[in-house]
Structure 1
Amino acid sequence: MSWEYNNESAAQRKARIAREVENRRAKGEPFEPIVCEVKRGIPAKTFWGVAWGENLESYSDYEHRLPRGRTYLRGGNVFDLEINEGNVFAYVTGGEIYEVTIDIEPMFDEPWAELKQRIAGKVTNVVDLMAGDLGAGVMEAVTDRELGLFPSPSEIRFSCSCPDWADMCKHVASVMYAVGVRLDQQPELLFKLRGVDHHELIDHASTDADLSTDSDEAGILEAGELSELFGIDLGDPESAVGE
């Protein structure tokens, strides 16, 4: 923090940062906050967001920095979260407006192929699909700490413009948790982050599976209905490449 702000109170600092945010918005920057509605525990609601948080908290490397990160996230301090292939970016407000970048290695071809093989045929029926539940076997495989889709600490690199010397400062921790909030809304972003195609996972999970309902009248889910259900195009797998 610059020397002229050394003596400002917490209220003055908060007001100054709020003015800076408004100034940036006036210049055309979105500065949209990540809203966390979960007040206790892991700041996420759905399977995907909670699983991301549980994986994050399973690594002892991070345990001392994570609580402040949850507080920052719940305080509305994370803005403009972007999740792209191999990269997460966000602004986090504190003493200043800090830039946080998190680089995550892509999932390599061999472990991705092994993951797809482990879940082949484990989607059992259309009821599971409509509920957004791919079954315990699939979910356990996808979220396995060693063999699943989530990155390990060795695959993650942090960068924050704050003066904190730690690899994972509270600003980085807040952004890591914010990823879980976003996965609540868009779980497909986890696959994008790791550089793999979620169409392939669905294809393999559905291989040799019984996609019919218990009712003969209900019939089998057609490709168009699958597309509508997941909001993706299953008709032409190659169309997803490069999106």
Structure 2
Amino acid sequence: MWWSYQDVEEQKKQVQREIAKRKKRGEKFEVLPAPAGQKKLSTTFWGQSWCRNLESYQDYESRLPRGRSYLRQGKVYDLKIESGKLSAVVAGSELYDTSITIEPLPKKQWQKIVKSSAGQVGSMLDLLAGKLGDGLMRVLTDPDDGLFPKPKEIRFICSCPDHADMCKHVSAVLYGVGVLLDTKPELLFTLRGVDQAELLSNASNATITDLSNSTGDLAEADLSSIFGIDLSAEVPLEPSAEKPPVKKAARKKVAVKKPKKG
């Protein structure tokens, strides 16, 4: 079908009119800003890892470039990341509502990740900033057992007439996740239905367990160096404060009147 310049411009105006109507109905319609003119959409560990994982899906290969272009053109609105769900509105020849469901991370797979992270996550800031060791990074981004979803775990619905396995609107939303993770990496854990704090608590528990398994002087030395105290020294008990004696109330003497002799 031949499209003239006037047709394209009219479509854009129609889309803008529809956006204005939906804003009046209370919808936010916040555009997801994506870097224009840059080769990489994402700049952080989490955002780039998401995009690399997405591009490893051979089934989606032919649809991904159009979606990336849509995102760069500012056509993705109101992207929301919730537990097991993505939703957004994408502007094409019309406005299309897109919904993507992603299965939660299997518990066994998550526990394996948690176990592998023992002692490797320094703080929540380090975790969200992607300041992790190479070994843990490989675990998190493993295509089979890592944190990112596999194609068979993803289902999507779009209101557009494109009946392909993945339309360009869905692709734009999936790429948008990578952009959003640059500023809100914690949403990846929300999406997969896991608690990132477990990566930290496991590290602490592992340290405590190792120390408790140690015996004798070694355990004392370890704990002393960690807490800065000498466990071998006797700590004198503080003397208990003596309570002042309780004064007894003085008994009043009652004069007994003797009976008068008759």
Q: Report the alpha carbon displacement of residue 39 of structure 1 after superposing the two structures with TM.
A: 3.1
Partners of 1:159 and 1:167 within 8 A in 2: no
C-alpha distance in 1 between matches for 2:50 and 2:37: 17
Q: Tell me which moved more, 41-50 or 187-196.
A: 41-50
C-alpha distance in 1 between matches for 2:118 and 2:45: 20
Match of 2:110 in 1: 112
Counterpart of 1:139, as a letter, is M
Structure 1 segment 24-35 matched on structure 2, within 5 A? 24-35=22-33
Match of 1:73 in 2: 71
Partners of 1:107 and 1:196 within 8 A in 2: yes
Q: Report the alpha carbon displacement of residue 143 of structure 1 after superposing the two structures with TM.
A: 1.2
CA RMSD of aligned residues (A): 2.6
| Secondary structure in structure 1 of the residue aligned to 2:188 | helix
Q: Structure 1 regions of 5+ residues with no counterpart?
A: 210-218, 221-243
Which of 93, 96, 99 pairs up with 2:97?
A: 99
Q: Report the alpha carbon displacement of residue 132 of structure 1 after superposing the two structures with TM.
A: 5.0
Q: Tell me which moved more, 15-24 or 121-130.
A: 121-130
Larger radius of gyration: 2
Q: Report the alpha carbon displacement of residue 186 of structure 1 after superposing the two structures with TM.
A: 0.7
Q: Report the alpha carbon displacement of residue 135 of structure 1 after superposing the two structures with TM.
A: 2.1
| Secondary structure in structure 2 of the residue aligned to 1:159 | strand
C-alpha distance in 2 between matches for 1:123 and 1:192: 19
Which of 181, 184, 190 pairs up with 2:182?
A: 184
Match of 2:53 in 1: 55
1:157 maps onto 2:175 in alignment: no
C-alpha distance in 1 between matches for 2:55 and 2:129: 27
Q: Report the alpha carbon displacement of residue 130 of structure 1 after superposing the two structures with TM.
A: 9.8
Q: Say if 1:58 and 1:42 are closer, same or farther in 2 by CA, change over 3 A.
A: farther
| Secondary structure in structure 2 of the residue aligned to 1:208 | helix
C-alpha distance in 1 between matches for 2:133 and 2:177: 23
Partners of 2:88 and 2:97 within 8 A in 1: yes
Deviation string for 1:98-136 (max 9, x for gaps)? 011110000111111111111211236999679651222
Tell me which stretches of 4 or more aligned residues in structure 1 moved more than 4 Å. 5-8, 124-132
Counterpart of 1:86, as a letter, is G
Partners of 1:119 and 1:137 within 8 A in 2: no
C-alpha distance in 2 between matches for 1:121 and 1:164: 48
Counterpart of 2:69, as a letter, is T
Counterpart of 1:208, as a letter, is T
Deviation string for 1:28-87 (max 9, x for gaps)? 110000000253434111111110000000110111000000000000100001111000
Q: Structure 2 regions of 5+ residues with no counterpart?
A: 209-224, 227-262
Match of 2:207 in 1: 208
Q: TM-score, normalised by structure 2?
A: 0.72
Q: Say if 1:96 and 1:118 are closer, same or farther in 2 by CA, change over 3 A.
A: same
Partners of 2:34 and 2:41 within 8 A in 1: yes
**How many residue pairs get matched?**
207
Partners of 2:124 and 2:197 within 8 A in 1: no
Match of 2:7 in 1: 9
